[in-house]
A = this chain, B = another copy of it.
Amino acid sequence: MHSVQFTAETSSNGVLERDFTVGGIPGVLWSPASGADRAPLVLMGHGGGTHKKAPAMTGRAHLLVTGCGFHVACIDAPGHGDRPRTAHDEQEIAVMQRAMAAGEPVGPIVVRYNAHLAERAVPEWQATLDALQELPEIGTEGPVGYFGLNMGTAIGVPLTAIEPRITAAVFGLFWPEPLAETAKQITIPIQFALQWDDEHIPRQSGLALFDAFASKDKTLHANAGRHKELPRFEADSAVRFFARHLGRAVTSPA
């Protein structure tokens, strides 16, 4: 198996940020600057077209580190961030951009392309988790969460379904195809976000994906607004969800 190779390190506001690679996959690990020993780990999946250090990822990571003392890791998805695009990636992105420019529905293309990316990303996430758990400050005993919306859900649902180390997850903002069938295998506590006036994902489709999870402990947060208008306070809410389920109190008013 591959091990974590750290490539850069910075620190600010009590958060240690370390770039790493695992078998060539670039990632970032955020940790408390002190006292992080054997703290729980949250894996974060970024959205389509963004990357591991996009503002949403960095912001959520800081909330989780400073609010709960967790480790937080994010890796670039295939074809995203510092990773090269394949000819297939380029082709699918071109199809998506043409649909957007023409005002045509992008849903079917996103669903198809993200399912393809998930097939590539799931084993990468598993190898990354193996390697992160080899680090002495993480270890194999602590609980693991997963937090990803949009494409982060398209990758996170199949990952969570086959990965027993993940014991709590925040998902949302995706279509039920093809995830609903996989969601029926997931029984861990989940929190799920959808936008009530999503112009891409029909309301009943979002509700259907939430409904599909077999979890006895599941919460839907539906907010008024369009696809990209998820309120900022949902990040705080996710922090409290992980604090409840991964076993650390929120230490500041997030």
Q: What residues make up the interface of A, taking CB atoms closer than 8 Å to B?
A: 196, 207, 210-211, 215-225, 231, 233, 236-237, 240, 244, 249-253
Q: Which residue of B lies closest to A194 (CB)?
A: B220
Counting from the closest, the 7 A-B pairs by CB-CB distance are A220-B222, A250-B253, A218-B224, A219-B223, A216-B224, A249-B253, A221-B221
Residues of B within 8 A of A250 (CB): 253
Q: How far is the CA of A221 from the CA of B220 in the complex (A)?
A: 6
**Inter-chain contact B219/A219, CB cutoff 8 Å:** no
Q: How far is the CA of A252 from the CA of B252 in the complex (A)?
A: 8
**Inter-chain contact B240/A233, CB cutoff 8 Å:** yes
**Inter-chain contact B196/A220, CB cutoff 8 Å:** yes
Residue contacts A-B, CB under 8 angstroms, 7 given: A217-B224, A219-B221, A219-B222, A219-B223, A222-B222, A233-B244, A237-B237
Q: How far is the CA of A220 from the CA of B211 in the complex (A)?
A: 15
Residues of B within 8 A of A207 (CB): 207
Q: How far is the CA of A14 from the CA of B51 in the complex (A)?
A: 47
In the complex, the count of this chain's copies comes to 2
Residues of B within 8 A of A210 (CB): 222
Residues of B within 8 A of A218 (CB): 196, 223-224
Residues of B within 8 A of A253 (CB): 249-253
**Inter-chain contact A219/B236, CB cutoff 8 Å:** no
Query: In the assembled complex, how far is the CB of residue A198 from the closest CB belonging to chain B, in whole angstroms?
Result: 13
Query: In the assembled complex, how far is the CB of residue A83 from the closest CB belonging to chain B, in whole angstroms?
Result: 36
Q: How far is the CA of A211 from the CA of B250 in the complex (A)?
A: 32
Q: How far is the CA of A251 from the CA of B252 in the complex (A)?
A: 9
Residues of B within 8 A of A249 (CB): 253
Q: Which residue of B lies closest to A217 (CB)?
A: B224
Residues of B within 8 A of A223 (CB): 218-220
Q: How far is the CA of A240 from the CA of B217 in the complex (A)?
A: 21
Q: How far is the CA of A244 from the CA of B231 in the complex (A)?
A: 12
Q: How far is the CA of A224 from the CA of B217 in the complex (A)?
A: 6
Query: In the assembled complex, how far is the CB of residue A253 from the closest CB belonging to chain B, in whole angstroms?
Result: 5
Query: In the assembled complex, how far is the CB of residue A172 from the closest CB belonging to chain B, in whole angstroms?
Result: 13
Residues of B within 8 A of A217 (CB): 224
Query: In the assembled complex, how far is the CB of residue A161 from the closest CB belonging to chain B, in whole angstroms?
Result: 18
* Of listed A222, A233, A236, A237, residue having the most chain B CB within 10 A: A222
Query: In the assembled complex, how far is the CB of residue A224 from the closest CB belonging to chain B, in whole angstroms?
Result: 5
Query: In the assembled complex, how far is the CB of residue A16 from the closest CB belonging to chain B, in whole angstroms?
Result: 23
Q: How far is the CA of A218 from the CA of B221 in the complex (A)?
A: 10
